[in-house]
Structure 1
């Protein structure tokens, strides 16, 4: 609300997920026996999306990877009069090793629960298997049918083949997330003098575009904008 009041023309994208607010670090509600409760989670994701739309979000971005959440969120937004609010779905979000720096900063990695609860040690139950290529096509078809306006691939560089596959199989815009681990690797290598940071970062961003991405989310956004504008 503060951003919209101060910068009314800025497009605001918000994340829809439970992990920042969940004591065990998972994107979904976890039953005592360790099962992720898909439908119960989707209900709260819908409430979260509507709350964000009411605050002024232009696009809500479900990153949880629960089944059926895009359609449910679309119906919830429309029911509350937010037909103009778009959905950027995390369509192909992989159970990747490249999320580490972000999870450490947010303290959102899965955590052990109380003695009577079994907490899954990772998010592989609902995020995608890095070895599985074809699942992304099934997820894309489902998200498009449920009303997604933009589809995302996350992470970026290790999944350029998936970006290209989605680009070739939908007319929707494709976004890609240049995640914290990818950013940290470039930063660390540059700090050690192993590569030219500007050239390497801009090459990485260009690769996303070449693979078919229409939008790029990256921790390099401010620096890249300055480099592209000719600033040092």
Structure 2
């Protein structure tokens, strides 16, 4: 059977027909909204490279949380900007650290909101790397010590769980990080706290605005020895499989837009819930173009997020979440 008997346009003839046969449905329940918390008083400071995204001090955070809840967004990803940094990122696992304080407060204000704690050291270390740095005796090169870093990441995860985080989301890309954190959480009695692993995290140029937001740019070198080469796809399967075997409860691909083939590959290979991180530069490029009148922001954002879900993402971390929630409601 072919044309003229088969006419595909029959199912596109009206908005109602198109809605009836729509294969991918984007809803507010798909969204995770990243929030940046910092010290100070009366701070609601827009991040210059991320219009519409702010640093919040604790006394201004509740208003943001109330808005998120009112929009029906079910979960947030919490990043902390500390008051001080050191070589081992000790404020990351401080009982009274900024993420821990914010988590305790949020769970009081909005107990139903799922709080996901980003578990990394980069914004807490004075060198900006995601682990402990040592200088190699023979080469003189600075290197991130994988196994020593795991010890501090476990302490960070446990402190976040103690504060009430519903999900631990390790983003550091150290080898064995899921296994180490799972063991640490279980030993501390947090056997029911899931791990949302940044399983496939590329050494990407799309993180630029985030490093302004989190004040986490490395002070020397780059992160290419622990984050993945953007050219590699098969390696993503190895990384994800390791995390599955180590006990991850979610898998993530970061960034999203340039890596939708990786999202689809992981969706086809693994049965864990899959998260796509619509990262800072993906957000900022749309905002900049919209500000210049070059595109329809609403149409572009909803099409992009739908594409991520169509590629296989079960959940989408996105700075567009509040706007997208309003547009979907309207």
Task: Say if 2:9 is the partner of 1:9.
Answer: no
- Aligned residue in 2 for 1:110: 218
Task: Say if 2:328 is the partner of 1:220.
Answer: no
TM-score, normalisation: structure 1: 0.94
- Pick from 75, 84, 87 the counterpart of residue 183 of structure 2: 75
- Aligned residue in 2 for 1:57: 165
Give the drift of 1:35: 1.2
- Pick from 119, 123, 134 the counterpart of residue 234 of structure 2: 134
- Aligned residue in 1 for 2:278: 178
Give the drift of 1:26: 0.5
Cα RMSD (Å): 0.7
Q: Distance in 2 between matches of 1:10 and 1:58?
A: 9
- Aligned residue in 1 for 2:91: none
TM-score, normalisation: structure 2: 0.67
Give the drift of 1:11: 1.1
**Structure label with greater radius of gyration:** 2
- Aligned residue in 2 for 1:97: 205
Q: Distance in 2 between matches of 1:6 and 1:224?
A: 23
Give the drift of 1:135: 0.7
Give the drift of 1:107: 2.1
3-state SS, counterpart of residue 195 of structure 1: coil
Give the drift of 1:78: 0.6
- Pick from 152, 158, 163 the counterpart of residue 263 of structure 2: 163
Q: Distance in 2 between matches of 1:106 and 1:56?
A: 22
Q: Distance in 2 between matches of 1:198 and 1:189?
A: 12
Task: Say if 2:211 is the partner of 1:211.
Answer: no
Q: Distance in 1 between matches of 2:208 and 2:316?
A: 20
- Aligned residue in 2 for 1:118: none
3-state SS, counterpart of residue 36 of structure 1: strand
Q: Which structure 2 segments of 5+ residues have no match?
A: 1-103, 136-140
Give the drift of 1:25: 0.6
Aligned length: 222
Give the drift of 1:9: 1.5
- Aligned residue in 2 for 1:116: none
- Aligned residue in 2 for 1:151: 251
- Aligned residue in 2 for 1:84: 192
Q: Which structure 1 segments of 5+ residues have no match?
A: 113-120
Q: Distance in 2 between matches of 1:127 and 1:216?
A: 20
- Pick from 22, 25, 33 the counterpart of residue 125 of structure 2: 22
- 1:128-150 deviation per Cα after TM superposition (whole angstroms, max 9, x unaligned): 00001111000111000000000
3-state SS, counterpart of residue 13 of structure 1: strand
